[in-house]
Structure 1
């Protein structure tokens, strides 16, 4: 959560109280009375939850608001409707008014339909979970916030396609914490209706990223390419409509679920195709030092020479390895105007910097690094401190 605190200076450390233009301030997490299980109101990150710097980055109203999502009936026509009826209907925002399941089984939200790679990542993280399909990324965030799911597993980057920027933006719009990561080996298959040969395929359906990752194979086939919301949705469409001249690029599991044959396996251009997923929850976990941990943060800096160098140096000085750095223009204030009396006005992008570093917030060196960073950061938030996934 980002606190709306104009002209408020200094680092906000949980358990410490101060005053700014908005009066007393302290960490949102430390205010939650239900968190007594962490030991009173102690912050699981040793107090380094959030820094409210000069100006406001995300207000409470903005964080709680979301774009109106389109609902879909998720139904299929004809014979396929009966065959696929047991499959769960993907949640949309209009579905998020039902009562949550308070059973012992973990409910994990993911974006897509059964057979999607995100579902495979959810099952890898929680093998006995009840996977909850959602129509959009934002619906998965809201499913956890509204207690319809216990966790959400969402993609954040792919080794070939790069970062999923939408989910970086949603991490700031919603009050969920990163509690884990999953690295999934992605193997694309060419799927078609039973009895169809690869040479008969004239058109290919799949997610745009999957189509790009299979550029060489699809070029050899000389097929028309059409985008869908998800790889598994492509398989679902072919099965529902009985499209014999159309194939799908999707997982082998999607072919099994929708009754399609695998016409070719591992058709991606690069066999080393890995997608990294984040596991999100309503409350953070208590970081430890018994295993390798990773910490994700987001911050902003003042404009000036060497500011980013100074920010990165706080980690290098303490021997902390940076696993990833990502920059995103601020959505509400993308441009910063700098008035130079000698050279006139100049416009710069105003960036958010996302960083993953390999250290636990239970380690003093990580706490000291953030204490150093807050001296010149205008906004700083810990998104999560969580165990690293060491296995693909």
Structure 2
């Protein structure tokens, strides 16, 4: 049986994504993203499902920093529609609520209902954990913003359903594995994740990325960060459309390598249908 690690508790959005992607798998809830990645690296889990971007809140996990150091590979992506319910102990009403608990990203994605209620907020490690805490407290003055599955799991009552600000709220997850799984070049849309460190010379980034522009390769994501202390040249996590063996992508990567001190392909995987729908829309 496949064991899949994720950050959060049962009933969280990460748990839901895991169940959709790998039904019947053995779940390994973790307290942090680092712990989830370490579980795969050490062999405790076969895969990790990690949220990386949210359409409303932006970047979720520092995967651009964690992934290159972990030695893991991206083998898939998945877009999950996000829904949050305001939930409390059975018999509670919104009028009784004084404090709402949830993960910081969930709170930021439900600002309208929080503003309308005038409630105090309390940040928790994850959304499902907030629901568990409210159930343990048994106090109608405390409520949680959590996915619908959390209410069922912890015996809470939905006080208001679907309170996310954006009805199209979506989180993108990536699946991480110890082994790279590079599919062959086909007509199917593909994505490639890359890590590179530019040479410490003037205009290095401009020149390194120039090949993508001249080869008409679409860059969908770029994140920069420093490796260690000091004034070392910046490192970058990049996602591009298409397969690295496709001729125009191979040409762009050749130019990237010329102006970089290190280039690593961190994953080649099918583009999720949601990405294609967004492009058409």
The answer as to whether partners of 1:178 and 1:280 remain within 8 angstroms in 2 is: yes
Alignment of 1:32-43 (within 5 A): none
The answer as to whether partners of 2:182 and 2:267 remain within 8 angstroms in 1 is: no
State the 1:282 CA deviation.
0.7
The answer as to whether partners of 2:50 and 2:61 remain within 8 angstroms in 1 is: no
Alignment of 1:172-321 (within 5 A): 172-290=68-186, 291-321=188-218
Aligned to 1:253, the other structure's residue is in SS state: helix
The answer as to whether partners of 1:205 and 1:248 remain within 8 angstroms in 2 is: yes
For each residue in 1:324-357, what CA deviation from the matched residue of structure 2 results, as whole angstroms up to 9, or x when unmatched? 11222x1413535xxxxxxxxxxxxx42221100
Distance 1:360 1:274 in 2: 25
Matched, 1:163 2:46: no
Distance 2:31 2:38 in 1: 11
Q: List alignment gaps of at least 5 residues for structure 2.
A: 276-281
Residue 45 of structure 2 is matched in structure 1 by 149
The answer as to whether partners of 1:334 and 1:351 remain within 8 angstroms in 2 is: no
Residue 358 of structure 1 is matched in structure 2 by 241
TM-score by length of 1: 0.67
Distance 2:199 2:271 in 1: 31
Distance 2:256 2:9 in 1: 41
TM-score by length of 2: 0.92
Distance 2:249 2:99 in 1: 51
Give the counterpart of 1:369 among 252, 269, 274: 252
Distance 1:155 1:179 in 2: 14
Whichever structure has more helix as a proportion of its residues is 2
State the 1:311 CA deviation.
2.2
The answer as to whether partners of 2:227 and 2:235 remain within 8 angstroms in 1 is: no
The 1:297–1:107 alpha-carbon spacing in structure 2 relative to 1, beyond 3 Å, is same
Q: How many residues align?
A: 274
Residue 13 of structure 1 is matched in structure 2 by none
Q: List alignment gaps of at least 5 residues for structure 1.
A: 1-104, 337-349
Give the counterpart of 2:27 among 107, 123, 131: 131
